[in-house]
Each structure stands twice: as C-alpha cells, then as structure tokens.
Chains A and B, each alone.
Chain A
Amino acid sequence: MNIAASTEIICFLILGSIVILGSLGVVLLKNIVYSAFLLGGVFMAVAGLYLLLNASFVAAAQVLVYVGAVNVLILFAIMLVNKKETLKPIKGLQIRKILSGSICLGLLILLIRVDITTPWPLPGPVSIGEQATERIGEHLFTDYLLPFELASVLLLMAMIGAIVLARRDVFSTDIETGNNAGQELIEKSNAPLIIDKTS
C-alpha cells in the first residue's frame, strides 16, 4: 500500500468519525446551540469527503451553501426563538426513544446489508477528475436545463414566500370594504388545534 492510499484511508476515517460523532451530537445534545455548531462541523466534514471523491466544485458549493447559508440560517432561527422553555415531561418518552431507536437500528442493518451484498458494477468508467466543473456546466445547459430553470423559479418563489410570512406588519384591512381584517382563517376555530396545557 502506497502513501497516497494510506493517506486517503486515514482522511476517510477521520472525516467519517467527525460526521458520525457530530451528527450524534446534533440529535442528542441538550443545548441546541451546540447542536447547531456541530451541524456546521458535519457539513464541513462532508465537504472534505467530497474532496476525497474528486469533486472540488460540489465541495465548494457544500461549504458555501450549507455552512454559509443553511447553518447560519439555523443559528438565526435559534437566536430568534430562544426563550427558555421547560419542556413538560411526557409519559413513556424513554420507551418511545428506545423503540424508535431499535427501528432505526433495524433500518440501518438492512441498509448496510444491501450496501454490502449488492454487486456494484465496479470499476466504472475512468473518472474525469479535474474537469468535473466543466462537465457540470455542460450538464446544466443541456440535459438538466429544465430542472435548472425550474430551480430558479423555486428560489424566487421561496424568497417571496419567506418574506411574506416572516414580515411583521402589512396592511390588514379588507381592501374592498375597508373593514378591519385579522389575517386569520375566516372560519372561527371550533376547537383549538393544539390544546394549550399551560393556560
């Protein structure tokens, strides 16, 4: 085994353990701020794995979009809704966690089993390596042109919608009659959708 191969294996093991431990931290830690920072670490480690797979463009996109945008967005979300909440204890929560844990474990064993037993058609075609970025560009303007254009509509719509929902005050009168409007459903609530146990 040459040096390049052993370096690759070591890198994979380190990055892989960061991904696993980090993601466990994301779902298990009590303090959600730690979880958010660990999530950033997981995203960075995944970007490192993409570099190992010879995909520098996607690795850059991963860092820019996931770490730079999604993770920051999540941190903002935490800061905006960070009221100290004492969660009401729920009966059978432990049992539920163990039960769902065993289901997930079963799913994991199933997935790993098929991952190992499937006869992958290896080795595939020779990797184009550094020309990947050009090839992605070619794809985006030929056979993936339709989803590419649609993605721009999706982003535009998500931006407008997010602004409309998060904006605090817009006019709230019925513009035809001038009556005040509550920006609520017209149907009055029959029974609360959530039973508020605090009040």
Chain B
Amino acid sequence: MLEIGASFITAQASAAPGELLNLALNAGTVAPEGVVLVAMIATLLVDLAGEKVAARWVPPICYLGLGTSLILLAFQWNAPLEPSFLGAFLSDKLAIAFRAVVALSTLLSLLISWRYAEQGGHPVGEYAAILLAATLGAMLLCGATDLVSVFVSLETLSVASYLLSGYMKRDARSSEAALKYLLVGSAAAAVFLYGASLLYGISGTTSLQGIGDALLNSPTPLAALSLVFVLATVAFKIAAVPFHQWTPDVYEGSPTPVVAFLSVGSKAAGFALAVRILVGCFGAFDSQWKLLFTVLAVLSMTLGNVVALAQTSMKRMLAYSSIGQAGFVMIGLVCGTEDGFAAMVLYMAAYLFMNLGAFACIILFSIRTGSDRISDYAGLYQKDPLITLGLSLCLLSLGGIPPMFGFFGKIYLFFAGWADKQYLLVIVGLVTSVISIYYYISVIKMMVVKEPYEASEVVKSYPLIQWKTIGLPPLRIALMTCVFVTAVGGILSNPIFQWANNTVLGTPFLQEAIALSGDKLLG
C-alpha cells in the first residue's frame, strides 16, 4: 500500500502507452464526493436561468445531492477496505464517520441559510455552489492519505471558506472578516507546506504511511521541526488557543449560516486531519505531540470558556464557546486510547446537532429582529416559545447538563481521559465546564426569567410569527431536527456509542497506534 504509486510508475516506464488506462483506481470510494460535485455543477447550471428559477430549484438539488451522498456513505460502511487512487485516499471507518458529519453539517447549514441569504439580497445559486465545493474539500480531507491530496483538499476547503465569509459584500464587517481569514489562512497553509516539504525531504515520499515509517526509523531534529510546523496549521484549522485569534472576528463578521458550517463542518475536517497526521504519521513523536496538544487543550478550554463570559454578541459568544468545545474534543485525541478516539467521534456527532441547533435559533431570531445581542433576547419566551425552547435545550446540551446528548459525549471524554491518567486535562475540563454552564444559563435566564415589562425593545416589537415565506419551512425543519436529536440523543445514545466504537475498531491505523501505545505501557 505504501509505494503503490511508486512501483506503478517504475513499471509504467516500460509498459505500452495504452496500459495506462487499465488502472485499479478503486474510484468507487469517492462516489459520495462525486455526487456532491454533480450537485454543485447542477446548481451552477440551474443558476444560469435566473434568480427566481435558482431560488426554486437550487434547494432540492442540494438536498438530493447531499442526501444521496449520505446514503452512499452508509453503504460504504461495511465495504472491504482498499486504498483508492493508488494510495491517495483511504475510506476507512474513521473517514466515513467524519465525512458523514461534514455532509450532514452542510445539509443542515444549507437548510438554515436560504432565508438568510434571500433577505440580504444575495444570489443563492453561487452561495450553494461554493458551500458544496467547501464540503467536497472537507470530505476529501477526511480521507486523504497523501500530502498532496491533503494540501489540495485543505486549500479547497479554505478558499471556499474565505469566499463564503466575504459573501455579504456590501458589509465592511464581512469583507474584513474574509480578508483576515484569507491572510491568516494562507500564511498557515504556507507554514504547513514548509513542514510538508521537510517531511518529503526526510522520507522521499508523499504518502503519510511512508512518512510515518521513515520517521520511525530516523527521528531527527528536522522531523521535530516539521512536526511543529504541521501542528501549528492543524491547530489553526481547529482554532485551538493560541492559534485562535482569527476565530472571533471571522465568526462575528461572516454570515451566520456560514459560521454554522465553519464551526462544525470545517472543524470536523480539521480533527480528521489531526488524527490522520498526528496518529498516523508522527507515531514516533508520540509523547512530544501529546504534550503540545495537552498545552493547547488546557489553554483552549480555559481561554475559550472564560472569555465567552464577557461577550455581548451571541455570535461572538458561540465563537469563544466553540474554541472551548474544541479543547474538550482534544482530550480524546491526547488519550490515544480506544475510548479516547471513540469519545472524540461521539462528541463531534453530538456537537454537530447541538451547535447547529443553537445556530438555527439565533438565525431565526436575527431574521425576525435583525439583532444578535444577548441582551435583546430578554423576555423572549412570551413572544416566541419555539426559539426559547430550542435555544435553551441546545445551550444546556453544550454546557453538558444531564439528560442531553452533549452530557453523554462530555462524560465519555472525561471518562476516557481519566482512564488514561490525564488528570490535569480532566480537572481543567470539569472546571471550565462549570464556567461554561454559567454563561449558557445566563442566556437562558435572560430569555425565560424576565417579566414582560423587563423585555427588550426588540422583543416588545416582535413581529407576528409566520412560516409562509419560502426558506422558513426548511429552517424550521432543521431547527426541530437538531433540537429533537439533542434532547433525545442522550437517552437513546447506546446505538451511537456502538457506532463510535465500531468506527475506531474498523480503522486499521488507529488500531495500530492503540496496540503500539499498549505495548509501550507493558514493556
């Protein structure tokens, strides 16, 4: 598997030109991405017929494409594992799980974006096409096993994200967010590439497996340096402190549905990349990267949750809370045990629903009132019980209050951390969880406890609730789905536990890493 491409190329030198076409590319594994690509092109073609037609037909095309993609992913679950594209892509269970999270997050983000885009007067066709391109990049990133594919898919995701965050082009905040994101992101990509070029120099190959083997044989200072470079970029992608500086500004300036995608889909792809590179490739530097990641996790949990306390804007608060949440997920990555990886997958799935549910609620609120200030939510329960209920449940779940989905995900993470003797991480996690509960509850208190005369001006002049406008029914469906899963997922979490554990069991490179660290403990 390691040198398929290389051996093929050398064999090719003597072969007849026609034989080039008879390759075992095993391209069926990227069928889910292919469907997304077809949906993207169909969206662009439909968009040629004018805005009215696009607004009518683009949504069903996107639903169809992403839905088919999810179904194809489900069919891949039990398929035999073979590297495709001569070692550029591997559709193991970890890749399938993270690709499903990405595709689902795009589907939900699209459901909540139509009304938002239309109300701002933005062309929806191109918006959907760029978001689908970002999805394509993120999905391929989850399974890429070669530095070149990692780089190109990472850049597809990033460039699409820059464009999306600048999509509200008459708004200085949106353009500014896009410019900041672009400059920081391109710099991070350049740093990643420098690390990648050093890795290529050490190992003479671009396949992650080959690099991992080469590093195992000769761990040089150069390899440690490239680890730092690569790690910085991965930390940028998952917005870990101190590489988080761009997050609050970008999250505040970008269109809210885009923020929803960035905080879930893009982050999930970042975690998939982190697992694949750190566990699969830097196995020789196990203790070093774990130490660095411990520091990053502690800083992220502390800073993210503490600074979120002081926010007045809902979007900014969720930005900092997402930094903190990334810190929690990193606990699972640092453990490196079977439970740790499974907890990571489980928490990502829970985070998908609870975070997108919260975003659906704040988008609905801003569509109706044009505000995202926390103080404007005062007294909302009398005017709009649905938003109040949905937002409360999602925030409680993010904070980790018992019967919700998020609680089980978080407890599993802490359990895995404790079993692996990561006491510092677990204690910091527990303390910052309590802090996070405080600011989540204070939003809920703002909505529920206030007397009618204490309600904010915005809520006093709240418009009549109506769902007729095109674009609002999908938003309601997304909102109810997310809130339902968040509320019920915890109680019915056994199959999801099973699923997360199977994901780890069905991923060969994770099993190797677990076995390796087990040997170290024994020997």
Residue numbers of A with Cβ under 8 A of B are 110-111, 114, 117-121, 124, 135, 138-139, 141-147, 150-151, 153-154, 156-158, 160-162, 164-165, 170-177, 180-190, 193-194
B120 interface residue (CB < 8 Å to A): yes
Within the assembled complex, what's the spacing in Å between the Cα atoms of A121 and B8?
23
Contact B172 A154 (CB under 8 A): no
Which residues of chain A have C-beta atoms less than 8 A from B116's C-beta?
186
Given A141-B20, A150-B152, A187-B315, answer yes or no on A176-B471 (Cβ-Cβ < 8 Å). yes
Contact A143 B130 (CB under 8 A): no
Given A153-B136, A186-B370, A188-B370, answer yes or no on A147-B126 (Cβ-Cβ < 8 Å). no
Contact A164 B123 (CB under 8 A): yes
B55 interface residue (CB < 8 Å to A): yes
Contact A157 B30 (CB under 8 A): no
B513 interface residue (CB < 8 Å to A): no
Residue in B44, B173, B312 whose beta carbon sits within 8 Å of that of A193 in the complex: B173
Residue in B133, B168, B372 whose beta carbon sits within 8 Å of that of A184 in the complex: B168
Contact B120 A185 (CB under 8 A): yes
Which residue in chain A gives the minimum CB-CB distance to B201? A120
Within the assembled complex, what's the spacing in Å between the Cα atoms of A182 and B367?
14
Within the assembled complex, what's the spacing in Å between the Cα atoms of A181 and B140?
36
Q: Which of B122-169 contact A (CB under 8 A)?
A: 122-123, 126, 129-130, 133, 136-137, 140, 144, 146, 148-149, 151-153, 155-156, 159-160, 163, 166-169
Proximity bits, B217-245, A CB within 8 Å = 1, else 0: 00011100100000000000000000000
Contact B156 A153 (CB under 8 A): yes
Which residues of chain A have C-beta atoms less than 8 A from B151's C-beta?
147
Which residues of chain B have C-beta atoms less than 8 A from A150's C-beta?
136-137, 140, 149, 152-153, 156
Residues of B in contact with A, size category: 35 or more
Given A147-B148, A165-B163, A174-B119, answer yes or no on A190-B373 (Cβ-Cβ < 8 Å). yes
B88 interface residue (CB < 8 Å to A): yes
Which residue in chain A gives the minimum CB-CB distance to B159? A158
Proximity bits, B45-80, A CB within 8 Å = 1, else 0: 000000110010000000000000000000000000
Interface centre among B25, B52, B129, B133 (most CB of A within 10 A): B133
Contact A183 B169 (CB under 8 A): yes
Contact B51 A177 (CB under 8 A): no
Given A110-B225, A182-B121, A190-B373, answer yes or no on A153-B253 (Cβ-Cβ < 8 Å). no
Residue in A143, A175, A184 whose beta carbon sits within 8 Å of that of B118 in the complex: A175
Contact A164 B12 (CB under 8 A): no
Which residues of chain B have C-beta atoms less than 8 A from A165's C-beta?
163, 166-167, 169, 178
Which residues of chain A have C-beta atoms less than 8 A from B86's C-beta?
142-143, 145
Which residues of chain A have C-beta atoms less than 8 A from B130's C-beta?
157, 160-161
Which residues of chain B have C-beta atoms less than 8 A from A118's C-beta?
202, 220-222
Which residues of chain B have C-beta atoms less than 8 A from A182's C-beta?
120-121, 170-171
Within the assembled complex, what's the spacing in Å between the Cα atoms of A164 and B175?
13
Which residues of chain B have C-beta atoms less than 8 A from A142's C-beta?
5, 8-9, 12, 20, 23, 86
Within the assembled complex, what's the spacing in Å between the Cα atoms of A142 and B4?
10
Contact B176 A194 (CB under 8 A): yes
B14 interface residue (CB < 8 Å to A): no
Within the assembled complex, what's the spacing in Å between the Cα atoms of A98 and B202?
33
Within the assembled complex, what's the spacing in Å between the Cα atoms of A121 and B120?
58
Residue in B88, B121, B166, B253 whose beta carbon sits within 8 Å of that of A143 in the complex: B88
Least CB distance from B486 to A in Å reads 24
Contact A193 B225 (CB under 8 A): no
Within the assembled complex, what's the spacing in Å between the Cα atoms of A164 and B44?
13
A-B contact count (CB 8 A): 190
Which residues of chain A have C-beta atoms less than 8 A from B148's C-beta?
144, 147
Least CB distance from A186 to B in Å reads 5
Which residue in chain A gives the minimum CB-CB distance to B123? A170
Contact B121 A183 (CB under 8 A): yes
Contact B85 A145 (CB under 8 A): yes
Which residues of chain B have C-beta atoms less than 8 A from A185's C-beta?
120, 168, 171, 173-174, 253, 255-256
Contact A176 B470 (CB under 8 A): yes
Contact A143 B87 (CB under 8 A): yes
Which residues of chain B have C-beta atoms less than 8 A from A120's C-beta?
201
Which residues of chain B have C-beta atoms less than 8 A from A135's C-beta?
9
A and B contact pairs by CB, cutoff 8 A, 7 listed: A142-B23, A172-B121, A180-B121, A181-B119, A185-B174, A186-B119, A188-B370
Least CB distance from B177 to A in Å reads 8
Residue in A158, A160, A176, A184 whose beta carbon sits within 8 Å of that of B44 in the complex: A160
B92 interface residue (CB < 8 Å to A): no
Interface centre among A138, A144, A177, A182 (most CB of B within 10 A): A144
Least CB distance from A143 to B in Å reads 3
Interface centre among A120, A124, A175, A183 (most CB of B within 10 A): A175
Residue in A143, A154, A161, A175 whose beta carbon sits within 8 Å of that of B52 in the complex: A175
Contact B221 A117 (CB under 8 A): yes
Known contacts A160-B126, A182-B171, then 18 further A-B pairs from the complex at CB < 8 Å, ordered by chain A residue = A114-B221, A139-B5, A139-B9, A142-B86, A143-B4, A144-B149, A145-B86, A146-B84, A150-B149, A162-B163, A164-B163, A176-B471, A181-B121, A183-B121, A184-B168, A187-B371, A187-B372, A194-B172
B339 interface residue (CB < 8 Å to A): no
Proximity bits, B180-199, A CB within 8 Å = 1, else 0: 00000000000000000000
Contact A138 B12 (CB under 8 A): yes
Within the assembled complex, what's the spacing in Å between the Cα atoms of A141 and B88?
12
Which residues of chain A have C-beta atoms less than 8 A from B518's C-beta?
none
Within the assembled complex, what's the spacing in Å between the Cα atoms of A182 and B122?
9
Least CB distance from A67 to B in Å reads 19
Within the assembled complex, what's the spacing in Å between the Cα atoms of A117 and B220?
10
Which residues of chain B have C-beta atoms less than 8 A from A177's C-beta?
469
B204 interface residue (CB < 8 Å to A): yes
Within the assembled complex, what's the spacing in Å between the Cα atoms of A162 and B84?
33
Which residue in chain A gives the minimum CB-CB distance to B314? A187
Residue in A138, A172, A184, A190 whose beta carbon sits within 8 Å of that of B313 in the complex: A190
Which residues of chain B have C-beta atoms less than 8 A from A153's C-beta?
37, 40, 133, 136-137, 156
Which residue in chain A gives the minimum CB-CB distance to B23? A142
Which residues of chain A have C-beta atoms less than 8 A from B163's C-beta?
157-158, 161-162, 164-165
Contact A151 B312 (CB under 8 A): no
Within the assembled complex, what's the spacing in Å between the Cα atoms of A178 and B44?
23
Within the assembled complex, what's the spacing in Å between the Cα atoms of A177 and B367?
13
Contact A154 B159 (CB under 8 A): yes
Within the assembled complex, what's the spacing in Å between the Cα atoms of A156 and B136?
13
Within the assembled complex, what's the spacing in Å between the Cα atoms of A139 and B252?
43
Within the assembled complex, what's the spacing in Å between the Cα atoms of A121 and B205?
13
